[in-house]
Chains A and B, each alone.
Chain A
Amino acid sequence: MHRLNGIAASPGVAIGRAFVYALPPLEISDARLPASALDAQLESLRLGLARAASGLSELAERVRVERGADLAGVFEGHLEILGDEEFIAPIEALIRGSHLSALAAIRQAVEMQRQEFLALEDDYLRARADDLADIGRRLSYATAGVNFSSLADLPAGALLVARDLAPSDTAQLDPARIAGFVVECGGRTSHTAIMARTLELPAVVGCAGLLETVRDGDWLAMEGRDGSVVVAPDEQTLTDFKVLREAFLDERAAMLELAKLPAVTLDGQGVMLAVNIGTPADAEAALPWNPDGVGLYRSEFLFMDRPGLPDEDEQYKAYSRVAALMQGKPVILRTLDVGGDKPIAAVPFPPEENPFLGWRGVRMCLYREEGNQDILRQQLRAALRAAANGDIWVMYPMISNVEEVEAVLALRDEVRAGLVAAGIRHGAIKTGIMIETPGAALLADKLAGMVDFFSIGSNDLTQYTLAADRGNERIARCYQTFHPAVWRLIAMVIEAGKQHGIPVGMCGELAGIEEAALPLLGLGLDEFSMSAQSLPRIKRLIRRCRMDEARALAHRVLDARTAQEALALASDAMHAVMQR
Chain B
Amino acid sequence: MECRHVEIVNPTGLHTRPGNLFVKHAKSFASDIHIVKNDKRVNGKSLLTLMKAGISLGDKIVIEAEGPDEAAAADAMAHLIATLTE
Which A residues are within 8 Å of any B CB, using their own CB? Answer: 70, 73-74, 76-78, 80-81, 84-87, 113, 116-117, 120-122, 124-125, 128, 131, 313, 316-317, 320-321, 324, 385, 389, 425
Known contacts A87-B48, A317-B11; A125 and B54 CB within 8 A of each other: yes
Number of chain B interface residues as a range = 20 to 34
- Taken residue by residue from 13 to 46, chain B's Cβ proximity to chain A (1 for < 8 Å, 0 otherwise) reads as 1011101110110000000000000000001001
Tally of A-B Cβ pairs under 8 angstroms: 71
Which B residues are within 8 Å of any A CB, using their own CB? Answer: 7, 9, 11-13, 15-17, 19-21, 23-24, 43, 46-49, 51-52, 54-58
Are B11 and A131 touching (Cβ within 8 A)? no
Q: Which 3 A-B pairs have the closest CB atoms?
A: A77-B16, A73-B17, A77-B20
Q: Measured between alpha carbons, how far is A443 from B38 in the docked complex, in Å?
A: 51
Residue pairs across A and B with Cβ atoms less than 8 A apart, 9 shown, are A73-B16, A77-B16, A84-B46, A84-B48, A116-B52, A117-B52, A120-B54, A324-B11, A425-B7
> For residue A86, which residues in chain B have a CB less than 8 angstroms away from its CB?
43, 46, 48-49
Are B17 and A77 touching (Cβ within 8 A)? yes
Query: At the interface, is chain A mostly helix, strand, loop or mixed?
Result: helix
With A73-B21, A74-B17, A131-B16 known, 6 other A-B pairs at CB within 8 A are A81-B47, A84-B48, A86-B48, A121-B54, A122-B54, A125-B15
Q: Measured between alpha carbons, how far is A73 from B21 in the docked complex, in Å?
A: 9
Q: Measured between alpha carbons, how far is A324 from B84 in the docked complex, in Å?
A: 13
> For residue B9, which residues in chain A have a CB less than 8 angstroms away from its CB?
389
Partner of B20, one of A73, A122, A316, A320: A73
Are A124 and B15 touching (Cβ within 8 A)? yes
Least CB distance from A510 to B in Å reads 33
Are A124 and B56 touching (Cβ within 8 A)? yes
Are A80 and B51 touching (Cβ within 8 A)? no
Are B57 and A317 touching (Cβ within 8 A)? yes
Are B57 and A316 touching (Cβ within 8 A)? yes
Least CB distance from A127 to B in Å reads 9
> For residue A124, which residues in chain B have a CB less than 8 angstroms away from its CB?
12-13, 15, 56
Chain B residue with minimal CB distance to A79? B20
Chain A residue with minimal CB distance to B14? A125
Partner of A80, one of B11, B13, B47: B47
Are B16 and A74 touching (Cβ within 8 A)? yes
